[in-house]
Amino acid sequence: MLVRIATAIALVSAVPVFSMQESLISESQESTAEQLIEMGLASDSGYEIVRSLTTEVGPRLGGSRQEARARDWAVQMFTELGFENVRIEPFEMPYWDRGAISTSIVAPFPQPLRASALGGSAATPQGGIEAEIVFFESFEALRDFDGSLENRIAYVNDRMISAQTGAGYGPANQKRRFAWLEAEARGALGVMIRSVGTDSHRFPHTGMMSTPNDGTINSGTHSDVAIAYIREEHPDYAENRMWSSIPAVALSAPDADQIERIHESGESVTVRLSVIAGWRGSRQSGNVVAEIPGRERPEEIVLIGAHLDSWDEATGAVDDGAGVGIVTAAAHLIDQLPRAPRRTIRVVLFGAEEVGLLGAFAYARDNSEDIGNIVLASESDFGAGLVWSLASGTSEEGTRFMDEAQQIIAPLGIIRGDRASNGGGPDIIPLAARGVPVFRLNQDGTDYFDLHHTPDDTFDKIDPDSMAQNVAAWAAITWLAAETDVEFRTQDE
Amino acid sequence: MLVRIATAIALVSAVPVFSMQESLISESQESTAEQLIEMGLASDSGYEIVRSLTTEVGPRLGGSRQEARARDWAVQMFTELGFENVRIEPFEMPYWDRGAISTSIVAPFPQPLRASALGGSAATPQGGIEAEIVFFESFEALRDFDGSLENRIAYVNDRMISAQTGAGYGPANQKRRFAWLEAEARGALGVMIRSVGTDSHRFPHTGMMSTPNDGTINSGTHSDVAIAYIREEHPDYAENRMWSSIPAVALSAPDADQIERIHESGESVTVRLSVIAGWRGSRQSGNVVAEIPGRERPEEIVLIGAHLDSWDEATGAVDDGAGVGIVTAAAHLIDQLPRAPRRTIRVVLFGAEEVGLLGAFAYARDNSEDIGNIVLASESDFGAGLVWSLASGTSEEGTRFMDEAQQIIAPLGIIRGDRASNGGGPDIIPLAARGVPVFRLNQDGTDYFDLHHTPDDTFDKIDPDSMAQNVAAWAAITWLAAETDVEFRTQDE
């Protein structure tokens, strides 16, 4: 009855009355989405995919032989699960190798330290370096320092806070991205930072530094911020330089505490540092793609992704084995329905994300003619914690669709998040920059940065129930987006 | 009134009526003990001693230069705190060095593993070994295996359970102590074990193996068990051999899980192992001693101790920096009272505990004429968790004294434990074996084996409030034992 009245009002007035608008999601569609949620909650296939990837491949640094094995693994998995158009889209990339590291305090209290080179770090001269550190409470203190750091090593100490949204990452990560620039510009022999992480274990957190690279800025997940920072603060680097010429390393939290305690006691700290990291030429990486062709509008694509590579010191269970498991299992659930959705679902497992979104940039470059066909995109790359909100950045109609879709996944404990999001996940950045609409199923990241980029990111940290909730939510939203004819793209673009 | 009746009954009957006996602890003594508890709870000196030791010395393996620095640190600390008769009692010891280790799965799924050599491990031949593993669910399965292990590596997988008392340690530790014997006897090239620990982090747990050594048995904290086991099961080793000739290593729990998962999938696992550990001749270690001379019976000694050495991969905060802080701070509180107790309080910081109770055996050997003067002894060596029970192994009168003493520390959350304990802590074993009465303030060990013998045993893991509770309990019991004239030693010995 209400529906009939709403229709009548719509006929009378050209201005839509929000509360009276017809549903964009039909009862039948809602019912199928609910069925997918039920299937997802009962399935362990996301969890089992992470088990398989972390056990049978293990660590898989972008450009490494292990990453090539991961691609073979992914092709086999997609094929066995019955996906179509399974393919590797290869690309060339510069390869950085961690090599070995040795770090210690030599004075006043000799003892070894646990450290990890940051991605892109230069090696020390043979034999290592030994120098006094200059202690900076924060990245800002280093940035604002107007003295010289010649013959010394800059040390940056600020801590990351833990937050459900992961909001502590950006501020704490300034020192990982840019401290090398500030240190090198002041003549330092090297730079050390307290790890960007929220744990207190003896695991350093690695991660890529930001730097001009091939005319773009290689910066992990915050390209625009990195571009702005480097162009404004260090235009000479942006124009002329590729990478740091000094070694840059992260200390584990307990080792950083040790430096801090000695510094606070008034003693100056001398450290020894030997790093054999460096760039080792060009290697091949690739994105692995699989599809469920749409039954009515196969040219229209809902793209869901994760990244296949991991850092080299762990098996990449939460970063991003979990994402690989979640999006693959969600698409596989959809593939088990009696018929395919109207639009094509494309699963993309990006290569070489950790080392600078290289697979994402390659994907956008090599599929540039196809980007206009991507109606909606998202990536799962925030671990294996529970989804708690649905964000989106789409047309008005798309926003209304997502409002309704959230109601369907609300029983999973998911509220409606940001309606003007410009982020669909790190590897979606190059697509979003070209106008592709996005959504994101935001996960609880309270503990994510305990493990992030450490040797401790292993399969035992994955909770199967959380994985199942993720798969359920992804299956429902992905299927609804592929089944609808709602236009997510803003039409005046 | 009740007291007068009790006295009357005592006069009538020669058989003591327990509930009517006079207190062994006077009201004035109780009051001083309560004052020490209050001082202990308000003091951070135990915590600050751990901070100082872990920061200014760091790791301090028995026999190393770092352990020598720890002795200098201890002498300085004791002197500054005003203790008397501060001295180092040196001894010679065989020195084992961990060297470097490299471990990986080479088939079916190549990837690096995180492992640590067990104390006493032999090196691999140069270039390392590569061999298939034979998977044993438990130490018992290896012990009962009647096949050959030639050209293969034995792997032992059983898990340790977490318990407040630490009761899971003994059973799980069989494989660390004795697996090398069983593997070597069957011709294995080496032995790997799942770490003896209760965490799931990528830290292997090291620890000493058990073996005949110098005619005694070197076995960590369970000498008698080790002696019995080796003499009964491997008399040839007990007679003729010193140490393992094969490498023995522990894997972190997540790496052990990896081996287990591959094994359970039906694949055989080939590993590569390179270990450069070995014995490096004789070195000097030492016990550091400090005293509060007794005001009336200075020749009678209440001995409280902890061990000064640690494993080499961490700064030894819970094992046993905490113990050093607890017993030193407790004695220092007593030293701040207006007058010294009647008996002498002797604080002993033992050297080279981890590598086989070497300081404890040296102490008993070099002070053999003095052992009869030790009226009571105990060691704090179970981390920094809260004390929850008071155990003792003394004369009947001593037991009654401890029953009363427990009532005084009960407000700290401490119940009465075992009244026939033969354990006062690892380094007290050689004294207890010579008839020295013991007590123990048992700590909550639920989480202790998360950190035990790992690189993660660092100062950030210490809770200052728990340290203060420990110091309060130790100060009260130690002072009461030193102030009383109760005989703790059983008189017919």
> Does residue A8 surpass a pLDDT of 60?
no
A112 touching B, CB under 8 A?
yes
Q: What is the pLDDT of residue A223?
A: 52
B460/A261 CB distance under 8 A: no
Q: Tell me the backbone φ, ψ of residue B116, rounded to 5 degrees.
A: -140, 140
Average of pLDDT values for A445-472? 98
Let me know if residue B2 belongs to a domain.
Answer: no
A212-216 contacts: CB < 8 A, separation 24 or more? Answer: A212/A237, A212/A238, A212/A239, A212/A241, A212/A242, A213/A94, A213/A242, A213/A243, A213/A356, A216/A361
Give residue-wise pLDDT tens across range B382-430. Answer: 999 999 999 999 999 999 999 999 999 999 999 999 999 888 999 999 9
User: Which one has a higher pLDDT value, B428 or A491?
Assistant: B428
Q: What is the pLDDT of residue A227?
A: 60
Q: Which residues 6+ apart lie within 8 Å of B462 measured at CB? A: B47, B50, B317, B318, B321, B322, B384
Nearest to A211 by CA among A290, A96, A305, A115: A96
Instruction: Please list every residue in chain B whose beta carbon sits closer than 8 Å to the beta carbon of residue A254.
Output: 456, 458-460
C-alpha–C-alpha distance, residues A227 and A243, integer Å = 14
> Does residue A18 surpass a pLDDT of 80?
no
Amino acid identity for residue B388 in this structure: W
Measured CA distances, A383 to A221, A425, A447, A470, B486 (Å): 15, 12, 9, 10, 62
Q: What is the pLDDT of residue B239?
A: 63
Amino acid identity for residue B115 in this structure: A
C-alpha–C-alpha distance, residues A317 and A46, integer Å = 12
Q: Which residues 6+ apart lie within 8 Å of B201 measured at CB? A: A201, A203, A456, B252, B253, B254, B450, B454, B456
Q: Examine the domain organization and report whether A266 and A308 are in the same domain.
A: no
Which of B105, B202, B315 has the CB atom closest to A458's CB atom? Answer: B202
Encoding tokens for residue A412? 């999973």
Q: Examine the domain organization and report whether A205 and A242 are in the same domain.
A: yes
> Does residue A10 surpass a pLDDT of 80?
no
Let me know if residue A489 belongs to a domain.
Answer: no
Instruction: Please list every residue in chain A whose beta carbon sits closer than 8 Å to the beta carbon of residue B201.
Output: 201, 203, 456
A258/B55 CB distance under 8 A: yes
Q: Examine the domain organization and report whether A372 and A438 are in the same domain.
A: yes
What CATH number should be reported for the domain holding residue B355?
A: 3.40.630.10
What CATH number should be reported for the domain holding residue B210?
A: 3.50.30.30
Q: Examine the domain organization and report whether B233 and B350 are in the same domain.
A: no
Give residue-wise pLDDT tens across range B214-261. Answer: 444 444 444 555 566 666 777 766 666 667 899 999 999 999 999 999
Q: Examine the domain organization and report whether B290 and B430 are in the same domain.
A: yes
β-partners of residue A387 are A443
> Does residue A9 surpass a pLDDT of 50?
no
Residue of A nearest to B59 (CA): A111
Answer with the one of B257, B277, B297 that is the final residue of a domain: B277
Name the residue with tokens 């020390």. A124
Q: Examine the domain organization and report whether B49 and B128 are in the same domain.
A: no
C-alpha–C-alpha distance, residues A87 and B172, integer Å = 48
Would you place residue A2 in the very low, low, confident or very high pLDDT band (cuts 50, 70, 90)?
A: very low
User: Which one has a higher pLDDT value, A211 or A407?
Assistant: A407
- What sign for the dihedral angle of Cα B404, B405, B406, B411? positive
- CA triple B351-B123-A117, angle to 5 deg: 80
| Percentage above 70 pLDDT, chain B | 90
β-partners of residue A349 are A288, A306
Which of A55, A257, A455 has the CB atom closest to B114's CB atom? Answer: A455
C-alpha–C-alpha distance, residues A308 and A316, integer Å = 9
Name the residue with tokens 């509220």. A415
Residue of A nearest to B451 (CA): A201
B456 touching A, CB under 8 A?
yes
Q: What is the pLDDT of residue B227?
A: 60
C-alpha–C-alpha distance, residues B95 and B389, integer Å = 36
Residues A183-195: b if buried by 16+ CB within 10 A, e if exposed: bbebebbbbbbbb
Let me know if residue B492 belongs to a domain.
Answer: no
- A455 sits in the region (left: phi over 0; alpha: psi -120 to 50; else beta) called alpha
B263 touching A, CB under 8 A?
no
Give residue-wise pLDDT tens across range B160-207. Answer: 999 999 999 999 999 999 999 999 999 999 999 999 999 999 999 999
Q: What burial class does residue A371 get, using C-beta atoms within 10 Å of its C-beta: 0-12 exposed, 13-18 middle, 19+ buried?
A: middle
Q: What is the pLDDT of residue A66?
A: 98
Would you place residue B15 in the very low, low, confident or very high pLDDT band (cuts 50, 70, 90)?
A: very low
Amino acid identity for residue A363 in this structure: Y
A111/B254 CB distance under 8 A: no
Q: DSSP string covering A101-149, please?
A: EEEEEEESS-EEE-EEEPBTPPPPPTT-EEEEEEEESSHHHHHT--S--
Mean pLDDT of chain B: 92
The secondary structure element, H or E, covering residue B87 is strand B84-97
Give residue-wise pLDDT tens across range A278-322. Answer: 999 999 999 999 999 999 999 999 999 999 999 999 999 999 999
Task: Decide if A133 contacts A271 (C-beta within 8 A).
Answer: yes
Q: Examine the domain organization and report whether A290 and A264 are in the same domain.
A: no
| Percentage above 90 pLDDT, chain A | 86
Instruction: Please list every residue in chain A whose beta carbon sits closer than 8 Å to the beta carbon of residue B253.
Output: 460
Let me know if residue A264 belongs to a domain.
Answer: yes
> Does residue B445 surpass a pLDDT of 60?
yes
Query: Helix A169-185 to helix A223-233 angle, to the nearest 10 degrees?
Result: 30
Q: Examine the domain organization and report whether A370 and A398 are in the same domain.
A: yes
C-alpha–C-alpha distance, residues A420 and A77, integer Å = 35
Measured CA distances, B60 to A115, A415, B93 (Å): 20, 53, 15
In B177-269, DSSP assigns E strands to 190-194, 211-213, 216-218, 248-251
A90 touching B, CB under 8 A?
no
- Structural domain count, chain A: 2
> Does residue B318 surpass a pLDDT of 60?
yes
Instruction: Please list every residue in chain A whose beta carbon sits closer than 8 Å to the beta carbon of residue B461.
Output: 200
Let me know if residue B31 belongs to a domain.
Answer: yes
Q: What is the pLDDT of residue A243?
A: 78
Q: Examine the domain organization and report whether B427 and B400 are in the same domain.
A: yes
Q: What is the pLDDT of residue B240?
A: 61
C-alpha–C-alpha distance, residues A482 and A439, integer Å = 13
Average of pLDDT values for B466-477? 98
CA distance B451 to chain A (A): 10
β-partners of residue B90 are B286
- What sign for the dihedral angle of Cα A35, A41, A44, A46? positive
- ipTM, 2 dp: 0.91
C-alpha–C-alpha distance, residues B226 and B244, integer Å = 15
Question: From the CB of residue A464, how many other CB atoms can be counted at a distance below 10 Å?
Answer: 15
Nearest to A468 by CA among A90, A38, A150: A38
Interface test with B, best of A458, A459, A461 (most B CBs within 10 A): A458
Residue of B nearest to A454 (CA): B202
Tell me, rounded to whole angstroms, the distance of Cα B54 from its chain centroid. Answer: 18
Average of pLDDT values for A388-409? 98
C-alpha–C-alpha distance, residues A108 and A50, integer Å = 46
Would you place residue A1 in the very low, low, confident or very high pLDDT band (cuts 50, 70, 90)?
A: very low
CA distance A400 to chain B (A): 44
> Does residue A76 surpass a pLDDT of 90?
yes
Answer with the one of B227, B244, B277 that is the final residue of a domain: B277
Q: What is the pLDDT of residue B152?
A: 98
Let me know if residue B263 belongs to a domain.
Answer: yes
C-alpha–C-alpha distance, residues A385 and A402, integer Å = 22
Average of pLDDT values for A386-397? 98
Task: Decide if A115 contacts A250 (C-beta within 8 A).
Answer: yes
Q: What is the pLDDT of residue A214?
A: 44
Q: What is the pLDDT of residue B481?
A: 98
A55/B258 CB distance under 8 A: yes
Give residue-wise pLDDT tens across range A87-132. Answer: 999 999 999 999 999 999 999 999 999 999 999 999 999 999 999 9
Q: Which domain holds residue A212?
A: 101-277
Q: Examine the domain organization and report whether A342 and A459 are in the same domain.
A: yes
Measured CA distances, B67 to A430, B213, B315, B316 (Å): 56, 22, 11, 12
Average of pLDDT values for B82-111? 97
Give residue-wise pLDDT tens across range B118-160. Answer: 999 999 999 999 999 999 999 999 999 999 999 999 999 999 9
Let me know if residue B252 belongs to a domain.
Answer: yes
β-partners of residue A132 are A270
Q: Examine the domain organization and report whether A106 and A84 are in the same domain.
A: no
Instruction: Please list every residue in chain B whose beta carbon sits closer than 8 Å to the beta carbon of residue A103.
Output: none
Mean pLDDT of chain A: 92
Task: Decide if B41 contacts B469 (C-beta within 8 A).
Answer: yes
Residue of B nearest to A57 (CA): B109
Q: Which residues 6+ apart lie within 8 Å of A124 measured at CB? A: A190, A247, A273, A274, A275, A276
Let me know if residue A369 belongs to a domain.
Answer: yes
How much of chain B is in helix, strand and coil states, percent to nearest 5? 40, 25, 35
Q: What burial class does residue B15 get, using C-beta atoms within 10 Å of its C-beta: 0-12 exposed, 13-18 middle, 19+ buried?
A: exposed
Q: What is the pLDDT of residue B237?
A: 66
Would you place residue A226 in the very low, low, confident or very high pLDDT band (cuts 50, 70, 90)?
A: low
Average of pLDDT values for A420-427? 90
Answer with the one of A210, A243, A277 that is the final residue of a domain: A277
User: Which one has a higher pLDDT value, B47 or B244?
Assistant: B47
Give residue-wise pLDDT tens across range B252-304. Answer: 999 999 999 999 999 999 999 999 999 999 999 999 999 999 999 999 999 99
C-alpha–C-alpha distance, residues B479 and B475, integer Å = 6
Q: What is the pLDDT of residue A149?
A: 98
Would you place residue A41 in the very low, low, confident or very high pLDDT band (cuts 50, 70, 90)?
A: very high
Q: Examine the domain organization and report whether A267 and A363 are in the same domain.
A: no
CA distance A446 to chain B (A): 18
Q: Tell me the backbone φ, ψ of residue A211, rounded to 5 degrees.
A: -165, 155
